[in-house]
Amino acid sequence: MIIASVSDFRKDIKSYLDRVSKNFETLIINRGKDSGIVVMSLEEYNSLMATNHELSSRINESRLDAAIEKLKSKQSFERELIEE
């Protein structure tokens, strides 16, 4: 995680944005007491939104938890995909 003030961000915006996009870092731009802006790559944002969607219902959350437990206890299996 990178933390910068607004003035530091303005001085070197390209460098900060390059670090965020290339290194998957999160940038917090401090705007004063208890105020700030978070900058992240589009890929990271999309990943967070997908996770949020998957956990949005109790049923999905239960299915994911069950799948994780199967993997941990080695009760999962692998299948070949059918090519058409």
Instruction: Give per-residue pLDDT as tens, 36-82.
Output: 999 999 999 999 999 888 888 888 888 888 888 988 998 877 788 88
Name the one residue in this structure whose structure tokens are 């049923």: 59
pTM of the model: 0.64
Tell me how many degrees the CA angle 28-34-36 measures, rounded to the nearest 5.
Answer: 25
3-state per-residue secondary structure call for 13-40: HHHHHHHHHHHCCCEEEECCCCCEEEEC
Ramachandran region, residue 80 (left: φ > 0; alpha: ψ -120 to 50; beta: rest): beta
Residue 7 has a pLDDT of: 94
Average of per-residue pLDDT across 6-32: 94
Question: Is the Cα dihedral 6, 10, 14, 15 positive or negative?
Answer: negative
Alpha carbon distance 20, 14 (integer Å): 10
